[in-house]
């Protein structure tokens, strides 16, 4: 919603260059929204409200599907951001996270990866964020991006609905700042 406010504050919806994709995963992955430029954040939320989850968790499949979507809809005009939300009840090899992050670097920009845990098991999600930070730190900086627009990959815990809302508002605010710098 913060990104929407930053865009509409310019008075030109046509200038919006953000694209949103939503992948839901359990033991399989479902692409609910792909490369959407048209919907505002409220409309995006309506697209996922009512979705249910169950039947195991497969981080490897989710990361692989994310990489595929990243490659299919790559644009040099946008910095890729992934918000990976899970209860943390899964394992994944470091290579799967590394492959996703390296794919973005190979395409020309580092990936800003944000793991958000809403469950008691968080070691794997912490590790995923650390791998993303490591790849991000070694990636060449985009010379067109102001240094203030750099959003480091992160890990956060949101063990209740209030913390979850605070976490997303914080992420939205941090992502809005680079956008504001780009709109000057």
Which of the four pLDDT bands, split at 50, 70 and 90, describes residue 163?
A: confident
Domains annotated for the chain, with CATH where assigned, are 2-182 (3.40.50.410)
Is residue 85 scored above 50 in pLDDT?
yes
Q: Write down the pLDDT at residue 173.
A: 67
How confident is the prediction for the chain on average, in pLDDT? 82
pLDDT of residue 182: 33
As a whole number of angstroms, the distance between CA 149 and CA 179 comes to: 8
Q: Taking the model in full, what pTM does it have?
A: 0.80
How are beta strands 20-25 and 29-36 bridged, if at all? antiparallel
- For residue 114, what are the β-bridge partners? 83, 154
Report pLDDT for 12.
42
């Amino acid at each position: 919603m913060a990104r929407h406010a930053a865009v509409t504050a310019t008075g030109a919806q046509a200038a919006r260059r953000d694209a949103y994709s939503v992948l839901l995963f359990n033991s399989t992955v479902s692409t609910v929204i792909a490369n959407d430029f048209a919907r505002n954040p409220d409309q995006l939320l309506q697209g996922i409200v009512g979705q249910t989850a169950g039947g195991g968790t497969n981080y490897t499949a989710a990361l692989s599907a994310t990489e595929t979507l990243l490659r299919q809809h790559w644009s040099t005009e946008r910095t890729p951001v992934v918000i990976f939300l899970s209860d943390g009840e899964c394992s994944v090899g470091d290579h799967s996270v590394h492959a996703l992050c390296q794919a973005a670097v190979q395409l020309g920009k580092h990936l800003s990866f944000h793991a958000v845990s809403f469950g008691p098991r968080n070691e794997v999600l912490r590790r995923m964020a650390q791998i993303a930070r490591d790849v991000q730190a070694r990636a060449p900086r985009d010379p067109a991006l102001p240094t203030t627009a750099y959003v480091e990959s992160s890990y956060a815990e949101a063990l209740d609905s209030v913390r979850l809302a605070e976490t997303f508002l914080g992420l939205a605010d941090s992502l809005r700042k680079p956008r504001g710098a780009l709109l000057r």
